Amino acid sequence: MAEELPGRPATPGTRSGNTWPGRPFTSMADLNRQALAWCQEQDRRMHGTMGERPCDLMRDELLNLLPTPGRLQKFLR
């Protein structure tokens, strides 16, 4: 039996119940597993506008967040 999240929306414009209609889940752990799998799948898709995969962009961005050796030395003195 699929579990639905009960309750009324706290504010207009929000929704309660199954966030993914047509996708049953048996527990919150199952819902979390499905959500993580969906996010990972979307992350590996080729983005239509940018023409790149978000996971590749994130990897490149994380590498650029590292300080350059010269800037790092400034803080190690």
Query: How far does Cα 62 stand from its chain's mean position?
Result: 16
> Regarding predicted confidence, which is higher, 49 or 2?
49
- Assessment of whether the complete model's pTM goes beyond 0.75: no
Helix axis angle for 54-64 and 28-44, nearest 10°, is 80
Q: Where are the domains of the chain?
A: 28-76
Write out pLDDT tens, residues 7-47. 555 555 544 555 667 788 888 899 899 999 988 998 889 98
Alpha carbons 8 and 11: distance in angstroms, whole number: 9
